[in-house]
Amino acid sequence: MSRRISRTSLAGLLLAALLAVLGVACSGPDRTAASDCPDDAPTCPASRSSAPPSAAAPTAAGQASGSPAASPSPTEKPTATAGAGSPSGTPAAKTACASPGACGFPDASTTGPRIPLEPHKTGYMAVRTDGLVIRGWDITGSLDIYANDVTVIDTKITSDNWWGINLRPGYSGLRVLHSTITAVPGKGPDNGGVDYAVSNMGGSSVEVGWCDVSVFGDALSMGQGNLHDNYVHDLVPFVNLGGEWQHTNTVISGGGNTGELIIRHNTLLNPTSLTQGASGSIGLFADTGVVRNVTVDNNWIAGGAYALYGGSTGATGIKVTDNVFSTQYHPASGGYGVVAHWNHGGAGNVWRNNRMSDGRPIEPEPAP
C-alpha cells in the first residue's frame, strides 16, 4: 500500500530543501561571488541589481564563479505626470524625484564592490593572461589589458595614470563589474589630470556594469560596449597638456564604431561648469568616423554643455528612449540645452518618451 504524506509534512520537507539550497548559495569559497551575499547573512537577499546573473563560468583560485549579465530595462517603470506616457504604450520613467536613487536609478548604494578588499599597490600593470579574473583587490595603479576575456570584479582602482582600465586593440572580452574606478586629482599625467576610467581602444565590445566611477575627465570612452547600471559622478575638470580645459563627458564615443554601443540604466552626472570644459553628459561625436548603432535607454542624465550630443550629420541607428534629463545642474539639464546635433533624418534614429525630471517632454532640434 502506498503511503500518503500529509500536506503539513510535505510543506516541511519543501521548506527544508529550500533552506538547504540557500545555505549552499551563501557558503563555500565562492560565497561572495553571489550578488548581495554578506559574510554574516544566513541566506542571500534578493539581488539589488536590475539584471539576472549570467551562466556560471569555470572557477579557479581567486576567480569569480560567475558574473552578472547586462541589465535589461526594468520591467515596470512608474508613470510620470498625467499624459506623459510613451506613444508606444510604454510608461514614462518616474520623474520629480529628490535624487536618482529615489527614482530607482543607480547610486553609491547599488554600485561598487560587494566584498572586503585587499590592498595591491600595482602601479602601472600590464595584463597579458587570457581569462584572468581580478577580484577583491584595492588597486593603487592602473590596468593595461593585452589579453582576452579578462574580468575585473568587486575591485577598486585608484589611478594616477591616463586611465583606470584600458583595453588594447586586437583583444576582446573585457568585463568590469561591481567595481569602483577613481583617480587622484592633480596627480595624473595630463598636466595633473586623468582622462579615462575605462578606455576601449579595440574593435570589440566591453561590458561595464554596476560600477561607481568618478574624477576622470572622459569617464567611459568607447565606440562599442555595454554600459549598464553604473553611477558616474563628480568629474574633476583640469587644464590639459595643451593648456586648455579638458572637455569632460561621463560617456564619450568618437564615432567610426563597427559594433553597438548600449548605454542603459545608468546615472550619468557631469557637474563641470561651462567655463571649465564641460562637454556632454553623453557625447556621441563624429570625430573619427560616422556615429552608428547606439542605444541610450532609461538613464538619469544631467550636466554638460549639452546633456546629449546626438552624433550629428550621418548618424544612424541612434535610439534615445525613456530617459530622464535632470535639472540638477542646469534648468535645461545641460548648460545650453538637452540635446545637440541630433540627426532627425538618419535611418533607424529614434527619439521617444524622453522627459525632463519635472515631467516635461523633450523634442530635439534638427542638427545644423
Whether 263 and 229 have beta carbons less than 8 Å apart is answered as: no
- Report percent pLDDT > 70 for the chain: 74
d(CA 54, CA 149): 15
Task: Supply 209's cell numbers.
Answer: 556594469
The dihedral built from the CA positions of residue 81, 83, 85 and 86, taken in this order, carries a sign that is: negative
What's the pTM value of the predicted model, to 2 decimals?
0.76
- At position 219, the amino acid (one-letter code) is A
Q: Is 19 helix (H, G, I), strand (E, B) or coil?
A: helix
d(CA 284, CA 280): 9
d(CA 358, CA 194): 34
| Per-residue confidence band for 135, with pLDDT thresholds at 50, 70 and 90 | very high
d(CA 351, CA 111): 28
Tens of pLDDT along 198-252? Answer: 999 988 999 999 999 999 999 999 999 999 999 999 999 999 999 999 899 999 9
Whether 254 and 223 have beta carbons less than 8 Å apart is answered as: yes
Closest C-alpha to 153, from 179, 120, 129: 179
Tens of pLDDT along 10-57? Answer: 334 333 443 343 343 333 333 333 333 333 322 223 333 444 333 333
Q: What is the mean pLDDT of residues 308-332?
A: 95
Q: Give residues with Cβ within 8 angstroms of 188, minimum separation 6.
A: 159, 160, 161, 162, 194, 195, 238
Tens of pLDDT along 72-105? Answer: 333 332 222 222 333 333 344 577 777 899 999 9
